[in-house]
């Protein structure tokens, strides 16, 4: 009985971890962040302060956070 | 085509109507059977060659032999073409179970959809459910693709892929319903490798390459594939019976760019006919399908001999 409860708890934790890894916030930080910083450099945009990578990660993180909260990257919620 | 088969193919509609239901069934099956049981080597070369082509874009771009901006449309084209060879394998068209080339069927099935980051076993399991329950709102995993017109399809396709959208839920439900939930592990691994690769490339200074060789082309290809393989041939998606699940249609972009889906009706009726043979099979079966009440789109008055050529 204890073993099955432990296995279930482990499975639930793994599923939670997978949910976090595939979440929009992680995607925004881990992919959109560096991508935005490369676009900033490509377009020769001068950032007011700091490194373009920091700006990219901040903007990517905010976009990911909004996507997480709204359930949509494009603001419009899926029906 | 032999003389007898040609005569069968050009029987008048009146002569077809005069046949008993059993004779019409037999004639339909006989004509369809002529297009089966051959190995579609073109699909094998296409599936494996296309994967090599897409993979080769990476070193070519990384070593500056090819501009990223040129590689982007090439990657989009390649990923758009990556599904259909696997689709042939899903239906065991390349080689059935027990055939000496079965390994090749499975190899093409597994390898060709890699650029789409989709596992063969999940694609196959859910596609079989689509065939078994086409246009059933509850049981067809592809049902959510239906939309009233092209623009509604595009809007629906984008919205369904959002984090809270139902894009993958129908596939997961189909796996659970058919007791194949273990295949979700395949989907999980593919998703992890796909996103992990994007993240790794992004943090090693190759985010633009990751975005333009894989991430964005994959989304564009998914839209294109869903449009021509799911939406267009099943529209309006209200009939569920054998001869009403799909339709033939005339694409303004021709048969090649619509990926042969103008004749998808043949595929649903006889899934063992290779994609490359569906136009010929359609033109030979067209009058019979019309008698069956099928929607044959704009092909009703076409000359089958010239169109098939």
Q: What is the 3-state secondary structure (H, E, C) of chain B?
A: CCHHHHHHHCCCHHHHHHCCHHHHHHHHHHHHHCCCCCCCHHHHHHHHHHHHHHHHHHHHHHCCCCCHHHHHHHHHHHHHCCHHHHHHHHCCCCCCCCCCCHHHHHHHHHHCCHHHCCCHHHHHHHHHHHHHCCCCCCCCCCHHHCCCCHHHHHHHHHHHCCCCCCCCHHHHHHHHHCCCHHHHHHHHHHHHHHHHHHHHHHCCCCHHHHHHHHHHHHHHHHHHHHHHHHHHHHCCCCCCCCCCCCECCCCCCHHHHCCCHHHHHHHHHCCCCCHHHHHHHHHHHHHHHHHCCCECHHHCCCCHHHHHC
Chain B, 210 to 229: residues with Cβ < 8 Å from chain A are: 210-211, 215
Identify the residue whose tokens are 């943090």.
Answer: B203
Could A72 and B164 be called an inter-chain contact, meaning their C-beta atoms sit closer than 8 Å?
A: yes
Query: Which residues are CB-neighbours of A59 under 8 A, at least 6 positions away?
Result: A32, A33, A36
Average pLDDT, chain B: 92
A55 and B CB contact within 8 Å: no
Q: Which two tokens stand for residue B35?
A: 């297009």
Interface predicted TM-score (ipTM) of this complex, two decimals:
0.86
Nearest to B242 by CA among B177, B283, B293: B293
User: Over 60: is that where the pLDDT of B2 sits?
Assistant: no
pLDDT bucket at B9, cuts 50 / 70 / 90: low
Whole-number pLDDT of residue A22: 87
Chain B, 181 to 200: residues with Cβ < 8 Å from chain A are: 188, 191-192, 195, 198-199
Candidate from A38, A71, A72 with C-beta closest to B207 = A38
Count A/B contacts: CB-CB distance under 8 Å.
Answer: 63
Could B203 and A35 be called an inter-chain contact, meaning their C-beta atoms sit closer than 8 Å?
A: no
Among the listed ranges A11-25, B76-90, B149-163, which one has the minimum average pLDDT value? A11-25
Determine the straight-line distance between the first and last CA of chain B, rounded to whole angstroms: 13
A35 and B CB contact within 8 Å: yes
Average pLDDT in the B1-16 region? 63
Chain A hits for B211, Cβ within 8 Å: 35
Could B188 and A31 be called an inter-chain contact, meaning their C-beta atoms sit closer than 8 Å?
A: no
B203 and A CB contact within 8 Å: yes
pLDDT tens-digit profile of B159-212? Answer: 999 998 887 788 999 999 999 999 999 999 999 999 999 999 999 999 999 999
pLDDT tens-digit profile of B105-129? Answer: 999 999 999 999 999 999 999 999 9
pLDDT bucket at B243, cuts 50 / 70 / 90: very high
Q: What percentage of chain B exceeds 90 in pLDDT?
A: 83
Could A39 and B202 be called an inter-chain contact, meaning their C-beta atoms sit closer than 8 Å?
A: no
Whole-number pLDDT of residue B12: 82
Whole-number pLDDT of residue B168: 74
A22 and B CB contact within 8 Å: yes
Could A72 and B162 be called an inter-chain contact, meaning their C-beta atoms sit closer than 8 Å?
A: yes
Among the listed ranges B7-11, B31-35, B139-143, which one has the minimum average pLDDT value? B7-11
Nearest to B142 by CA among B258, B254, B245, B259: B245
pLDDT bucket at B274, cuts 50 / 70 / 90: very high
Chain B hits for A66, Cβ within 8 Å: none
pLDDT tens-digit profile of B76-108? Answer: 999 999 999 999 999 999 999 999 999 999 999
A51 and B CB contact within 8 Å: no
Candidate from A23, A34, A72 with C-beta closest to B203 = A34
């Amino acid at each position: 009985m204890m073993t099955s409860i432990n296995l279930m708890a482990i499975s639930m934790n793994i599923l939670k971890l997978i949910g976090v890894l595939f979440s929009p916030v992680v995607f925004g930080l881990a992919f959109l962040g560096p991508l935005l910083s490369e676009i900033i450099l490509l377009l020769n945009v001068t950032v007011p302060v700091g490194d373009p990578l920091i700006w990219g990660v901040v903007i990517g993180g905010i976009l990911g956070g909004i996507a997480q909260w709204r359930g949509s990257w494009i603001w419009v919620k899926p029906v | 085509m032999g003389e007898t088969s040609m005569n069968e193919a050009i029987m008048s509609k009146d002569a077809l109507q005069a046949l008993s239901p059993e004779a019409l069934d037999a004639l339909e099956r006989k004509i369809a059977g002529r297009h089966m049981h051959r190995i579609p080597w073109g699909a094998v070369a296409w599936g494996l060659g296309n994967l090599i082509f897409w993979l080769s874009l990476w070193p070519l771009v990384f070593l500056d032999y090819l501009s990223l901006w040129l590689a982007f449309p090439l990657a989009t084209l390649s990923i758009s073409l990556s599904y259909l060879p696997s689709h042939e394998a899903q239906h065991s068209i390349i080689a059935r179970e027990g055939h000496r080339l079965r390994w090749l069927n499975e190899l093409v099935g597994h390898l060709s959809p890699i650029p789409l980051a989709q596992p063969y076993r999940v694609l196959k399991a859910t596609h079989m459910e689509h065939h078994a329950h086409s246009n059933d709102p509850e049981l067809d995993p592809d049902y959510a693709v239906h939309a009233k017109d092209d623009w509604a399809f595009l809007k629906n396709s984008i919205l369904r892929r959002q984090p809270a959208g139902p894009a993958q839920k129908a596939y997961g439900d189909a796996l659970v319903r058919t007791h194949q939930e273990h295949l979700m592990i395949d989907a999980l691994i593919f998703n992890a490798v796909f996103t992990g690769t994007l993240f790794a490339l992004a943090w090693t200074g190759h985010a633009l390459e990751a975005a333009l060789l894989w991430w964005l082309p994959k989304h564009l290809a998914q839209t294109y594939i869903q449009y021509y393989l799911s939406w267009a041939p099943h529209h309006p998606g209200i009939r569920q019976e054998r001869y009403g699940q799909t339709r033939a249609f005339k694409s303004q972009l021709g048969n090649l760019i619509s990926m042969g889906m103008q004749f998808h009706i043949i595929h649903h009726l006889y899934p063992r006919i290779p994609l490359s043979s569906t136009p010929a099979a359609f033109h030979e079966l067209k009058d019979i399908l019309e008698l069956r009440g099928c929607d044959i789109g704009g092909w009703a008055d076409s000359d089958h001999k010239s169109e098939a050529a």
